[in-house]
Chain A
Amino acid sequence: MSRAILYDSSMCIGCRECEKACAARWKLPYNEAIAAEEQISAHKLTAIQTHGTHYSRRLCMHCADPTCASVCPVGALKKTSLGPVVYDPAKCIGCRYCMLACPFQVPTYEWQSRLPIVRKCDMCYERVSQGKPTACAEACPTGATVCGDRDGLILEARRRIREKPDQYYGRIYGVEEVGGTSVLFLSPVPFGQLGIPTNLPKTPLPMLTWKVLSRTPDIASVAGVLLGGVYWITHRREKVAAEEGDGNHRGKK
């Protein structure tokens, strides 16, 4: 059973209780100035955004096949079978490839620190693994953010769209995007208007590099044999020429 989060923009009242609960869970400072920031950062792992009359929420999407986990050279990021994508700061070397690669621009960095680490939402991995909801879902007073089984949440989202088709843009974001995510969005307006990327392919991005990378052993062995062959031929030719007493050739050895 894989856990997921469903965020329904039409139910969000912008109270920022999710932000406050998230800050408390990470022991990060939270005050009015931080509440006013609408971008996620190393000190704010989820953010409520205002887009006209609608609210949107930013947090790690917890992709089924996460780009960040595929690009990390030391495997500091991992997709757990439970759903959350977790980060091990003790492994991280700080190359920031995850930040470049993430299609949702989620991993953030402690730019002011001498030995910085990456910060991102981990879907409250500890709480979720104990069967509890995420801190944000627990804090949400309207049910705009709920935590549950992914398949169940997709059914729930479909039910909402079916029951009030005029209140929703008729799609669930996150079912197919980059191969599916464990955070799902419902919106009354097209997702682009909520600042959510809409130009993503349905296939997981890691496939793009894996198609090339998985050929590495083939390329290496073919190239090795080929070069070895060329080496043998060119040096054999030289040796034969030397043995035939061709004075113009410079023999080796």
Chain B
Amino acid sequence: MKSLLRFPRLSVWHFIFTVIILGGMRGLYVRAMYGLGAATNLTDRFPWGLWKGFNVLTGIGLGAGGFTVAATVHIFNLKRYKPILRIALLTAFLGYSLMAVALMIDIGQPQRIWHPIVMWNEHSVLFEVAWCVMLYLTVLSLEFAPAVCERFGWHKARTAVGLISAPVVIFGVVLSTLHQSSLGTLFLIVPEKLYGLWYTPLLPVLFFLSAVCAGLAMVLFACRQSRQAFGRQVPAALMEGVARALAVMLAIYHAVRFGDLIQRRAVHLLAQNRMETWLFALETALLTAPLLVLLRERNRGSREARYLCSLMVLFGFVANRLNVSITGLEASQATHYVPKWPEVMITFSLISVGFAIFRIAALHLPLFVEAKRAEEPETIAA
């Protein structure tokens, strides 16, 4: 924080950031004072919009890099990936926290957000998601705690969190598997509303697989960002490894997805000239192109190709989530939903805040020390 205040180097980005935040605050004011009707274009026929579709579904999905890399490093014991673990955990932590903030803005009674803790309905997918997300945010805090402890020299606390890391990581992976897939299960309840290209009993599986893809892409993106902004290098070999994992996951995702389309005889929908077909094509193109690019070893070695692919996967993932939660529902609801400006501004504000916190954390927390240590075989990092 201090260093940000110390050099108010005004740039275009600072200006854009300020405008977005001011717009977001204005939007928040409208939301708080005049209610959801004034702040959103939501209606009785279309009760979920940008905040649910983008901030909640995408925020959680982009955080999937956290559990993926944590599992790789701690459970599969592939220690060479340790340098990117903290970046992955940080993006996850930010994704989930900002999702929680967005949820507080979206729900009608934010002061009751704790209700699912004491009021149970185990038949509700959303109840399960609420619990998993609450628990997983705790897990993420514990997983990320070492970086904070090291920064402030809390050695005893650092040792303590190190000791419980194994069960915590396993618990976190289990929770993530459950709620990443459950976000897809949420939409199993609307078979007659969600368009046939997206509605499938396999939604939970597809949501899980695509979340892992998005999480890996987010790791690539975040490493690249921190390299550009702070000159922190993550070994290129690691990035190649992540890119290879991304290619494998994308291949599995597409195999399941198109296998499912063929199996439930929905391929003919692709021949129809309607909005849904084109949106599906857009989403598929954004997710297929990186797969084709990353299949080549030469491309995986290219920094630019990796960056481009990570961006395409991220956008493709966002498109997919918005299609499932918004555009895929429009036809059956006979409505056309376009978010109102407070929805858009608050969403952009939260993204900006995410970038800002990431920047501050990257500058002030030992996110990259592990990279140094990994090169010295004798130094032992718990």
Hey, which bits of chain A sit against chain B, CB under 8 A? 39-42, 67, 69-76, 91-97, 99-101, 103, 105, 107-117, 197, 199-201, 205-206, 208-210, 212-213, 216, 219-220, 223-224, 227-228, 230-231, 234-235, 237-238, 250-253
Contacts and interface: CB of A to CB of B under 8 A. Distances in A.
A74 B75 contact: no
Contacts of A230: 75-76
A81 B192 CA distance: 27
Contact of B36 (A100, A105, A116, A227): A116
B47 A231 contact: no
B113 interface: yes
A101 B108 CA distance: 17
A18 B87 CA distance: 61
B299 to A, nearest CB: 30
Given A73-B116, A95-B107, A250-B380, A200 B192 contact: yes
A253 B36 contact: no
A73 B134 CA distance: 14
Q: Is the interface of B mostly helix, strand, loop or mixed?
A: helix
B71 interface: yes
A231 B124 contact: no
B152 interface: no
Interface in B38-76: 38, 42-45, 47-48, 71, 74-76
A253 B382 CA distance: 7
A228 B100 CA distance: 29
Given A108-B44, A201-B191, A250-B380, A71 B107 contact: no
B170 A73 contact: no
B174 A224 contact: yes
Contacts, number: 180
Contacts of A96: 42, 47-48, 107-108
A205 B126 contact: no
B190 interface: yes
Q: Which of A95, A114, A208, A231 has the most CB of B within 10 A?
A: A95
A208 B48 CA distance: 20
A63 B173 CA distance: 37
Nearest to B171: A224
Contacts of A227: 71, 75, 170, 173-174
B380 A253 contact: yes
A94 to B, nearest CB: 2
A252 B126 contact: no
A91 B112 CA distance: 8
A199 B192 contact: yes
Contacts of B76: 230, 234
A238 B77 contact: yes
Interface string B175-199: 0011000100110111110000000
A41 B189 contact: no
